[in-house]
Amino acid sequence: MKYQGVLFDLDGTLTASGEGITKSVQYALKKMGRPDLGKDRKKLEVFVGPPLLEQFMDYAGFSEEEAAEAVKYYRERYNVTGIFENQPYPGIKELLEGLKEKGITLAVASSKPDQMVKIVLDHFQLDTYFDVIMGSDINRPKMTKAEVILQVLEKMNCLDEREQVIMVGDRHYDVLGAKEAGLSCIGVTYGYGTKEELLRAGVVKTADNTRELGKLLGL
């Protein structure tokens, strides 16, 4: 299908950000007196994608107040060092160039704080490919993925043309957020979620690499 607009998640979809995120979670858990919970960085990849507040509550059993403190510690490290322990996936720039050449409107919809999203995209010179870039409001730690997506659609003037727009993400949070906002979602398996997770959430298609993703998007 030829889409008029494509919304991309950031972490695990455009960039491989796991190292910076998991090391920053380790730092936060140590500061919270729970370094035992951060020994296995692979397990901490569950923090890639969802809002941090709820993930600290789910993973560590923190109260909301404790989780908010953990998020502050996380950002102490991430905002200085972790944000750059990151790199675009192979073929991402070529994919974005191809979509732009076809006149497709491109956007980023991420649960990462808005300022951090823009810093990452600028650092890797990916920002110029996108018509709309939006992350979550740092003052609203419970802001949902669906809320971010709806704000992006509004900026794209696509609220009434959702059938011509698709979301691309690597976790079930992306799929469910897209559904709630009235969009279908393509899942990428090269990120931090599994194919099974994505299929259970209801993706319309999956792509194992950026070349497959390009074909699904009409390249």
Is 9 in the active site?
yes
Phi, psi of 162 (to 5 degrees): -65, -25
Query: Distance (Å, rounded) from C-alpha 56 to C-alpha 75?
Result: 13
Beta strands in the chain (DSSP E): 5-8, 15-16, 87-88, 105-113, 132-136, 165-169, 184-188, 205-207
Query: Distance (Å, rounded) from C-alpha 70 to C-alpha 73?
Result: 5
Query: Distance (Å, rounded) from C-alpha 143 to C-alpha 4?
Result: 26
- 148: exposed, middle or buried (C-beta count within 10 Å: 0-12, 13-18, 19+)? buried
How is residue 113 annotated by DSSP? E
Catalytic residue among 9, 11, 170, 174: 9
Residue 7 contacts by C-beta under 8 Å, 6 or more apart in sequence?
Answer: 107, 108, 109, 149, 152, 153, 165, 166, 167, 168, 178, 183
Active site residues: 9
